[in-house]
Structure 1
Amino acid sequence: MIEKIVDIQNLVEAIEAEVVQWRRHFHENPELSFEEVETSKFVFEKLQSFGNIEVSWVTPTSVMGRLFGRHPGRVIGLRADMDALPIQEETGLPFDSKKSGVMHACGHDGHTAMLLGAAKVLSQLKDEINGEIRFFFQHAEELSPGGAQEMIKAGAAEGIDGVIGLHLGSQGPLGKFSLCYGAVTAACDDFDIVIQGKGGHGSEPNGTVDPIAIGVQLVNGINQLISRKVDAGHRAVISVTQFHGGTANNIIPDRVTIGGTVRMFDPEIRKQIPVWIEKLTKGLTAANDATYQLDYNFGYSPTINEEKITSLVEKTIVETFGESNFVRSQALMGSEDFSAFAEVAPGCFAFLGAGSENPAENYPHHHPKFDVKEEALILGVHYFVRTSLNFLNEK
């Protein structure tokens, strides 16, 4: 057993430079959600070159690899997301984005490179594998309805017994894995409201139905919904993030548009929030002789870490990287469409710190200066390799 562990360690360490090179390639050539044409092509060709892996297109911009072990057994899915964000990069890296206004500002370049590395290592361990490993290279995590649902509808996840994901964290201590049981990321919904009033001259507001005045009242009301409707023991957030209206200082406009995001974990609260928003909007517009249109979109579900597979992941992290590199964490209000895979089979989604020792260098996700320390990449490869083998060999 010790010899096998040493062999795996050597196989992983042997590809570190290659994994870094892949990450830099993806970082230089980012592609937006549903547009990952060249990224998925690169992944497809690399998987084919490793041998022992059946490679297929699941959607026009997502790829799946299937590695069948020597012996029958369970099926584990390993997932990485590939898309970038509409952000102008400001890192100054020698391998910064070649595309104006598009950037890997969330670590997906690293995720893709790590899973490619794991696929290369595992392809060399075919005879040690019981069962099947599926490599999900997913498109469009950043844009609802998300690529995970499309891959699942196409049949990629049929028959899997578990699924594992990993997310790099730019502000987490380098090499520290964090994990929690149960809910790990929140549901993410959004809304858009149009308030239709009656415009007019700014000097005669009495002759108008002012949608800005109504909108201000509505925003204040929405901001009070959670504190007045939701028990303080539940975590939920409504943030109004857009308010658009008007064209000149002396004109009261006909309409305004308001938009925002909603995050929560409890499914019953999730059902009630759009009801509360509509009731408030309807009442305010009716009281002021205006009309409204509300579009409420149910986005990603909460990501739930199932207890048994999460326990296996925790044990693997401690055995592989040491107890000092494991942290039991709290659920995040951010969202992830890994949740769609975790609704199909027991799932576990962990985080790997990839921050600098200098806090001033650690910019948050979705920031123009976001970056991760590349020393974390090989740790992610090792995580995928060891966790998948432990899952398949578990009795």
Structure 2
Amino acid sequence: MISTLTSSTNGFNQSQIRLKIRSLQSQLVQWRRQLHQHPELGFKEVLTAQFVAQKLQEWGINHQTGIAKTGIVATVDSNQPGPVLAIRADMDALPIQEENEVPYRSLHHGIMHACGHDGHTAIALGAAYYLSQHRQDFRGTVKFIFQPAEEGPGGAKPMIEQGVLKNPDVDAIIGLHLWNNLPLGTLGVRTGALMAAVECFRLQIQGKGGHGAMPHQTVDSVVVAAQIINALQTIVARNINPLESAVVTVGEIHAGKALNVIADSAKMSGTVRYFNPVFENYFAKRLDEIIGGICQSYGASYELDYWRLYPPVINNAQIADLIRSVALDVVETPIGVVPECQTMGGEDMSFFLEQVPGCYFFLGSANPEKGLAYPHHHPRFDFDETVLGMGVEMFVRCVEKYCC
């Protein structure tokens, strides 16, 4: 049944979406809500993968399951020679208790789709279905990558290691993130770094405990920790070019068990984020230098555990231009395309973009008039489902333009 809705709030005109994709809107909403009610954490997306595989099988789309545990790769071949374009969608949810009072709220206690991955999966399914019915409209092959565990520990890298970009070899890859930081009817895209590298650290400081009235007999781990926290902020403030972007965050600290006792040890953890790949080895070295120097000056010892989670998401210029040109026909202009949209958030789409040219972009999904503007990872996160058809339209037009 074709929707009779022609417009919505925020000026988004649904006439930009072709009739055959608009006719899928009710199905897209149904799929998304089914997925939303049954969220699953990373590498545990068993029901989600079954749902996706069932739809692909119904439509006669070739696919492989069980890649990186719960991942799926599907191929839609035009039966004409041409390029191979991959479309990636992540499937996992978050360990958050949902607070939305909606009929489709999560049925799994303590787990929620609070980042829009249910929408990503529904959009990719819609694009796969539409393209399987319109193979004459493009050349080459479209490969759909349904990825587990984007929220952590990361499913992109193991999928790549298991060959998802091979057989046939992928020439380019695209993906989208529904984005409640932008209103419905807008799209954020840029050449170069879109999202930041994410690196993590845990630190344990070992001092010498004692009575709060006799600090001269101790090595106060809390004082040492305080000095370290302040000093770490100087890395960005005084060691990084002000024209570069980076952030060091200490998000957790634990020390002591009594108000009149000087704690013998303190623990802290945090993240480091940056856009420029030149900093890949810099922050680990600089943290160790600062922490080591402060601990030595106070007579404390330390153990630092530092690891890299995701590299920065860096978009290829040519594929970003493709997204931008398609977006001008889908979203409302002149403010519909936000050219310099960036965030210090991280995404393991970055691993795919290290292997092949591609572009990741943000699709505005917020609608404050409907109360759909809570931020990502909030227990009341939700989005305007009108964006689902818009996402399918974007993917389909990208395929038709790239695989021509």
Q: TM-score, normalised by structure 2?
A: 0.92
- Which of residues 82, 107, 125 is equivalent to 1:73? 82
Paired position in structure 1 for 2:355: 344
Q: Which amino acid aligns with 2:109?
A: S
Could you tell me how far 1:322 is from its partner in structure 2? Answer: 4.9
How far, CA to CA, are the matches of 1:336 and 1:179 in structure 2? 15
Q: Which amino acid aligns with 1:73?
A: G
Q: Is the 8 A contact 2:315 2:360 kept in 1?
A: yes
Matched residue of 1:369: which SS? coil
Paired position in structure 2 for 1:46: 55
Paired position in structure 1 for 2:7: none
Q: How many residues align?
A: 386
Q: Which amino acid aligns with 2:402?
A: F
How far, CA to CA, are the matches of 1:387 and 1:280 in structure 2? 48
Paired position in structure 2 for 1:386: 397
Instruction: Please state if 1:112 is matched with 2:121.
Output: yes
How far, CA to CA, are the matches of 1:46 and 1:128 in structure 2? 22
Instruction: Please state if 1:369 is matched with 2:383.
Output: no
Q: Is the 8 A contact 2:61 2:74 kept in 1?
A: no
Identify unmatched segments of 5+ residues in structure 2.
1-14
* RMSD across aligned positions (CA): 1.6
- Which of residues 134, 141, 156 is equivalent to 2:164? 156
Shift in CA distance, 389/56, structure 1 to aligned 2, threshold 3 Å:
farther
Could you tell me how far 1:256 is from its partner in structure 2? Answer: 0.9
Instruction: Please state if 1:132 is matched with 2:141.
Output: yes
- Which of residues 338, 342, 347 is equivalent to 1:331? 342
Instruction: Please state if 1:297 is matched with 2:297.
Output: no
How far, CA to CA, are the matches of 1:178 and 1:268 in structure 2? 25
How far, CA to CA, are the matches of 1:261 and 1:54 in structure 2? 37
- Structure-to-structure mapping, 1:247-286, within 5 angstroms: 247-286=257-296
Q: Is the 8 A contact 2:185 2:332 kept in 1?
A: no
- Structure-to-structure mapping, 1:233-252, within 5 angstroms: 233-252=243-262
CA deviations over 1:236-273 (Å, ceiling 9, x no partner): 11111111111222222221111111110122233211
Q: Which amino acid aligns with 2:74?
A: G
Q: Which amino acid aligns with 2:337?
A: F
Instruction: Please state if 1:24 is matched with 2:33.
Output: yes
Q: Which amino acid aligns with 1:378?
A: G
How far, CA to CA, are the matches of 1:295 and 1:322 in structure 2? 47
Instruction: Please state if 1:201 is matched with 2:211.
Output: yes
Matched residue of 1:20: which SS? helix
CA deviations over 1:133-163 (Å, ceiling 9, x no partner): 110000011113x100011000001210000
CA deviations over 1:263-302 (Å, ceiling 9, x no partner): 1012223321111110111111111121101111111111
Q: Which amino acid aligns with 1:339?
A: S
How far, CA to CA, are the matches of 1:181 and 1:311 in structure 2? 8
Matched residue of 1:23: which SS? helix
Could you tell me how far 1:360 is from its partner in structure 2? Answer: 6.2
Q: Is the 8 A contact 2:53 2:63 kept in 1?
A: no
Paired position in structure 2 for 1:15: 24
Identify unmatched segments of 5+ residues in structure 1.
1-5
How far, CA to CA, are the matches of 2:294 and 2:337 in structure 1? 50
Q: Is the 8 A contact 2:193 2:276 kept in 1?
A: no
- Which of residues 162, 175, 188 is equivalent to 1:165? 175
Matched residue of 1:293: which SS? strand
Instruction: Please state if 1:91 is matched with 2:103.
Output: no
- Which of residues 180, 185, 190 is equivalent to 1:180? 190
Q: Which amino acid aligns with 2:183?
A: P
Could you tell me how far 1:357 is from its partner in structure 2? Answer: 3.7
Q: Which amino acid aligns with 2:175?
A: G
How far, CA to CA, are the matches of 1:335 and 1:191 in structure 2? 15
CA deviations over 1:84-103 (Å, ceiling 9, x no partner): 11111112222111122111
Identity of aligned residues (%): 40
Could you tell me how far 1:308 is from its partner in structure 2? Answer: 0.8
Matched residue of 1:329: which SS? coil
How far, CA to CA, are the matches of 2:160 and 2:230 in structure 1? 40
Could you tell me how far 1:388 is from its partner in structure 2? Answer: 1.5
Q: Which amino acid aligns with 1:198?
A: K
Matched residue of 2:366: which SS? coil
Shift in CA distance, 363/389, structure 1 to aligned 2, threshold 3 Å:
same
How far, CA to CA, are the matches of 2:290 and 2:189 in structure 1? 38
Report which stretch shifted further, 248-257 or 279-288.
248-257
Matched residue of 2:85: which SS? strand
Shift in CA distance, 380/223, structure 1 to aligned 2, threshold 3 Å:
same
Q: Which amino acid aligns with 1:371?
A: D
